């Protein structure tokens, strides 16, 4: 009987070792998969942000008190920009959901505020691009 119990103990230890190894493999595989996906998403977002740039070409001022000034925005980046927001003196004026492709100029009309001399106009996009210009 003494020889059999030694064999059973060895088999049990072997099974415990194999099951712990399998559990460790599954845990680390899942963890590294999540880290890889998170890193790829972060790199993709950072790349998009770096490749998106906009420029305010011209500002056609409006006659106050009426809104309706036109801000011509050019996409000078390498990716499409979306959700263009226009701020006049740090106040949100208009949100345009259209897409501006690279090289394209898009006129955006103010909806709430008029733009006069020395007003600061800021344009932002969903991709993180920012352009600021003072009306002259």
Could you give the CA distance from residue 82 to residue 73 in angstroms, rounded to a whole number?
12
CA-nearest of 65, 58, 27 to 131 is 58
What is the CB-side half-sphere exposure of residue 100 using CA atoms within 13 A?
28
Q: What is the pLDDT of residues 79-124, one digit of tens each?
A: 999 999 999 999 999 888 889 999 999 999 888 888 988 999 999 9
Give the strands of the sheet with 91-96, arranged side by side: 91-96, 84-88, 120-124, 130-134
With a cut of 60, say whether residue 1 has pLDDT above it.
no
Q: What is the pLDDT of residues 19-62, one digit of tens each?
A: 999 999 999 999 999 999 999 999 988 888 889 999 999 999 88
CATH class label, 52-134: mainly beta
Longest pairwise C-alpha distance within the chain: 104
Confirm if 95 and 108 have CB atoms less than 8 A apart: no
Query: How many C-beta atoms surround the C-beta of residue 114 within 10 A?
Result: 17
Residue boundaries of the structural domains of the chain? 1-51, 52-134
Q: What percent of the chain has pLDDT over 70?
A: 98
Q: What is the mean pLDDT of the chain?
A: 91
């Amino acid at each position: 009987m003494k020889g059999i119990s030694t064999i059973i103990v060895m088999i049990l230890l072997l099974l415990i070792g194999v099951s712990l190894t399998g559990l460790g493999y599954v845990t680390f595989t899942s963890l590294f998969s999540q880290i890889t996906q998170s890193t790829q998403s972060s790199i993709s977002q950072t790349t998009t942000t770096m490749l998106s740039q906009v420029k305010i070409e011209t500002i056609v001022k409006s006659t106050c008190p009426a809104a309706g000034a036109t801000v011509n925005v050019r996409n000078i980046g390498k990716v499409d920009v979306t959700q263009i927001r226009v701020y006049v003196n740090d106040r949100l004026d208009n949100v345009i959901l259209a897409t501006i492709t690279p090289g394209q100029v898009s006129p955006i009309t103010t909806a709430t505020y008029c733009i006069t001399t020395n007003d600061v106009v800021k344009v932002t996009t969903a991709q993180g691009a920012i352009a600021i210009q003072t009306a002259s």
